[in-house]
Structure 1
Amino acid sequence: MTAEHMTNGTAAGTLSSYQEAVEWITGLIPFGIRPGLDRIEALMERLGNPHRRLKFIHVAGTNGKGSTCAYLTSVLIRGGYDVGTFTSPYITKFTNRFQYNGNDIEEETLLALANELRPHVEALAETELGSPTMFEVSTALAILFYAKVTFPDYVVWETGLGGRLDVTNIVYPVISIITNIGHDHMDRLGDTLVAVAEEKAGIIKPGIPVVCAATQPEVIEVMKRTAAERKSSLYLLGEQFAESAVSEREDDQTFRFDGLFRTIEPLSITLNGAHQRTNAATAVMALEVLRQYNALVIEDEALREGLLKAAWPGRLEMVSRDPRILLDGAHNPEGAEMLAKALRTTYRYEKLHLMMGMLENKNHRETIKHILPIVDTLILTEPDYRMKMEAQGLAGIVQEMRSNMPELPPIEIVIEKDWQQALNKLQQMTGDKDLGVVTGTLYLIADVRSRLLFGSDSEKGW
């Protein structure tokens, strides 16, 4: 092999390593720049439409998508099914996004599939459609992984952004799930909850049942109208199914599931926060629908064990016990509200020290307002990402909000741009009876998690 080929596999037209394949994919036009399904449809057409041979469980929503996917995957595997799971963003490594029976895609397999895709991507780039984006190529790679390499019984398929124009919406699923609707990505999905709901409801397909955990009346109206138009059976939290808490303590929640077909009690989960009971109940309802209408066979013992064993990194995850450090990717107002509720009800501590880093395009004030009343120390930092919100700017927002909220108890505010130095300060100030929390964008959560658990940097990203 020539020196030119060795330094750049792309020169030879073939990617020569896993790292090179990831760099090629992530170096394509970034996520979300050109919404629409034209390019992914053209790419699938060139590949023989492999997605049509798979059974998808399509999951959309503002928060809770990843956890719901984790519950579904865990239960289905324990029920004896082979399961593909496609999620985003990834926390530790690019391969996290493409899982089969709970294990990441192997690097060599990803490399081989990237090389299979590359000539088609480059051919499309020469047409009027333009180059497929990074997210489109990742989605196509996932479809090839499941349709041509692993052949799962079900693919748990998480949307990237929105629903209607999201690349993942190319599939025709056996069931659709919409976890909830909240104030996130409103710069791209619309400036009202109704507008966001319209986009998320875009995954509802004609005649395909949909399970939804949204609670706002205006959002429910959108879901009911869309389901009726498409003649899809809608199973709505609070109407066709519900959950009620039996007991709740750190790392252990038990609840009762009441569904249209039956009641199941008790069910237990180790993920923390009341919202995780909702996510688990949403997953159970989807499985119940598939059991009734698609001949899915899941023994109750597999259901119980699957829910109990489900894990999802970076969401109310205790990554250190000495000192106690909790990670939670609460990057929007609804996520921050759920975090604050969990910190009030589930965890015990004398002082609460919280480190936060956010992206610049987020709803900072509505997110921070849930955090300010409960913290003793607030450490403001910056994620290692190009769209970061500067710590000084975040501090300005906090100071302005505090001046307008005189009823708040005094808190110490620390500004530390370097997230590693901020983490050191958090560890130092968190005493034996205190709790340290790291929250905000998942780009920060990914780096902190890798540093605390593995002593290394994360790949992190979409």
Structure 2
Amino acid sequence: MADAYDEQLVTGAGDGENADQDDLPDEFVEAGDEVYAELLTRLGEAAPQPRLSATRKVVELLGDPHHAYPIIHITGTNGKTSTSRITEGILRAYGLRTGLFTSPHLERLNERIVIDGKPISNEALAANWADISPFIGLVDAELTGAGEPRLTFFEALTVLAYASFADAPIDVGVIEVGMGGEWDSTNVADGQVAVFTPISLDHTARLGNTVAEIARTKSGIVKPAAQVVTARQEPEAFAELKRAAELSESNLVAEGENFSVLSTSVAVGGQMVSIKGIAGTYRDIFLPLYGSHQAQNAAVAVAAVESFLGGGATALVDDVLVEAFATATSPGRLQLVGTEPTVLVDAAHNPGGAIALAAAVKEYFSFEKVVAVVSVLDDKDAEGIIRALEPVVNEFVVTQSGSDRAIDADELASIVVGIVGAERVVVELDPRVAAELARESAGASDRGAVLVTGSITLVGEIITLARDEGWKP
């Protein structure tokens, strides 16, 4: 994602306390860039270290900033970021000052550390990095002396997020796990509420080859006497979560048993949802996000906030929930970035995400022709992604994102051709040219659309391109 990041000129940065400052040039952009550049010198997120000790040593030296506020900790395979964002939005609607930590970013690192609804300013990012760098250096030296890798990109970023939230300060942190759970660096913190979105096969080389193994690793975020909230799971995954809750003497609530989506209906710009929470029922609320999976994410978020604010015994205030849902956003998830023709980007990068995406396209839109621009990373199930998309896509433009882990475009094209046939496939190495080819093809139809998906890196690149080229008035 470095290419999209480096090309982005930030506007609207600042401390968020004075809205009049939002359109002023940000004199700290270079300082923010330097933080990212330093993080990029570290072992990347594709190769996380299965350890907590390194992160724990740094936060201990810093005085345990992650203990300065309560935490809602969120893991799963799909829907983590959307659920985290909706959860944070409800808490903020209640007047709480929030911190939100999500991964990865689409365009700029600041997106990952959000304070009171706004990405951290470059000034605060640089200042907090300067504060923690000496302590990271001490632990780096200790690790290398012991023959271990120094702190990874994500370990250092986790420390930066926790320190930034303590400095802000915040009332509550919503923390998305980077990968897995048990040994993920965010797990140095103790979440008062542990949240699980749907668990399926992904990152199998790191997390396990079965849903049960992956769920077991993810269940490591459950801490003693916590509140545990889970979306509907496969039986083997649910068994692992139930076991973790019992061992930690935690209270477990599950979708389908304790809360549920009662109904959804298509609405202009999103959907109307009715949700039965743990403590209350909330009917006919507008959610400006597409897809039944987003309704499920919203239900999980509601249950998480009910668990946090009142232990699941107190209903949320309807007007507050209406306000929170109305302002919900999920960048990179069926996000409209262009018109004439319609261009949608979606960060689905595994079969589960692609299945949800295809269902949403079919249910919420009536396109005559869909042209997909796709790139997939080499550790992902490319065949599963394409098979999920095939029923709703007429043409595929296969490309290769700027990530060094992207599957070679010709190699990916052979996979796509094997599934959909050569007549539906075009190959273009340059993502920008690929997007233009797709727009031209889709634009030849009265109701044509472009769908960019398969890789978060690709989505970030096209979001930047769409803004730079003015695809949406």
Please confirm whether the aligned pair reaches a TM-score higher than 0.5, indicating the same fold.
Answer: yes
1:452 is the counterpart of 2:469: no
Please list, as runs of the form range in 1=range in 2, the aligned pairs for 1:289-308 lying within 5 A after superposition: 289-293=307-311, 299-308=317-326
Aligned to 2:40: 26
The AA in structure 1 aligned to 2:132 is: L
SS at match of 1:388: coil
> Deviation at 1:455?
4.3
CA shift for structure 1 position 50? 1.7
C-alpha distance in structure 2 between counterparts of 1:365 and 1:387, whole Å: 16
Paired letter, 1:266: D
Correspondence 1:122-133 to 2 at 5 A = 122-127=137-142, 128=146, 130-133=149-152
The residue type equivalent to 2:61 in the other structure is R
1:101 maps to which residue? 116
Q: Is the 8 A contact 2:306 2:313 kept in 1?
A: no
CA distance, structure 2, for counterparts of residue 259 and residue 271 of structure 1: 19
> Aligned to 2:114, what secondary structure does the other structure show?
strand
Paired residue for 1:6?
none
Cα pair distance change 1:174/1:297, threshold 3 Å? farther
Contact 2:336 2:345 in 1 (8 A): yes
Once the two structures are overlaid, the 10-residue window that deviates more, 165-174 or 262-271, is: 262-271
Question: Once the 2 structures are TM-superposed, how far is the Cα of residue 173 of structure 1 from its aligned partner?
Answer: 1.4
- Number of the residue aligned with 2:53: 38
In structure 2, the partner of 1:140 is 159
Asked whether the 8 Å contact 2:191–2:222 carries over to 1, the reply is no
Matched, 1:284 2:302: yes
Identical amino acids, percent of aligned pairs: 31
Of 97, 100, 107, the match for 1:82: 97
- Return the offset for 1:291: 3.1
| C-alpha separation in 2, matches of 1:295 and 1:113 | 38
C-alpha distance after superposition, 1:353-397 (max 9, x if no partner): 111111011011111111122221111110111001011111111
1:412 aligns with 2:424: yes
What SS does structure 2 have at the residue aligned with 1:239?
A: coil
Post-superposition CA distance 1:238-263 (Å, at most 9, x none)? 11111022421452211221133222
Deviation readout 1:415-443 (Å, 9 max, x if unpaired)? 11111110110111112311211111100
Please give the alpha-carbon distance, in whole angstroms, between the structure 1 residues aligned to 2:427 and 2:149.
43
Report the RMSD for the aligned CA atoms in angstroms.
Answer: 1.8
- Relative distance call for 1:150 and 1:358 in structure 2 (3 A) is same
Q: 1:411 to 1:248 in 2, by over 3 A?
A: farther
The answer to whether residue 249 in structure 2 is matched with residue 231 in structure 1 is: yes
Partner of 1:257: 275
Contact kept in structure 1, 2:260 and 2:299, CA below 8 Å: yes
Report the Cα distance in structure 2 between the residues aligned to 1:411 and 1:271, rounded to whole angstroms.
33
The residue number in structure 2 matching 1:119 is 134
2:173, 2:58 → 1: CA distance? 20
Return the TM-score normalized by structure 1.
0.90
CA contact 2:373–2:396 (8 Å) conserved in 1: yes
- 1:428 counterpart (432, 437, 440): 440
Distance in 2 (alpha carbons) for counterparts of 1:159 and 1:246: 28
2:413 & 2:194 partners in 1: Cα distance?
41
Amino acid in the other structure paired with 2:114: Q
Contact 1:204–1:227 (8 Å) recurs in 2: yes
Count of residue correspondences: 434
Note the C-alpha offset of 1:150. Answer: 1.0
CA deviation vs aligned residue, 1:97-125 (integer Å, no higher than 9, x gap): 11111111111221121112222122112
Secondary structure of residue in 2 paired with 1:126: helix
Point out 4+ residue stretches in structure 1 off by more than 4 angstroms.
Answer: 294-298
Partners in 2 of 1:294 and 1:399 — Cα distance?
Answer: 50
**Match for residue 360 of structure 1 among 362, 378, 400:** 378
1:64 to 2:79 alignment: yes
Contact 2:280 2:315 (8 Å CA) reproduced: no
Q: 1:296 and 1:83 mapped to 2: Cα distance?
A: 21
Q: Secondary structure at the residue paired with 1:438?
A: strand
Instruction: Tell me if the contact between 1:65 and 1:179 (Cα under 8 Å) persists in the aligned partners.
Output: yes
Question: How far did 1:268 drift?
Answer: 1.9
CA–CA separation in structure 1 for the residues paired with 2:448 and 2:267: 17
Q: Give the aligned residue type for 2:410.
A: Q
Conservation of the 8 A alpha-carbon contact between 1:250 and 1:347? no
Select which of 190, 205, 212 maps to 2:223.
Answer: 205
3-state SS of the aligned residue for 1:85?
strand
Structure 1 residue 399, shift from structure 2 partner = 2.5
**C-alpha offsets along residues 51-92 of structure 1, whole Å, 9 cap, x if unaligned?**
112111101111111111111121211211111111110112
- In the superposition, relative to structure 1, how do residues 95 and 396 fare at CA in structure 2: closer, same or farther (>3 Å)? same
Q: CA deviation at 1:136?
A: 0.9
Distance 2:64 2:280 in 1: 38
How much does 1:45 deviate? 1.3
Do the aligned residues in 2 keep the contact of 1:178 with 1:214 (CA within 8 Å)? Answer: no
Matched to 1:331, the amino acid is H
Question: Separation in 1 of the partners of 2:171 and 2:180?
Answer: 26
Asked if residue 110 in structure 1 is aligned to residue 125 in structure 2, the reply is yes
SS in 1 for 2:399: strand
Q: Which amino acid aligns with 1:422?
A: A
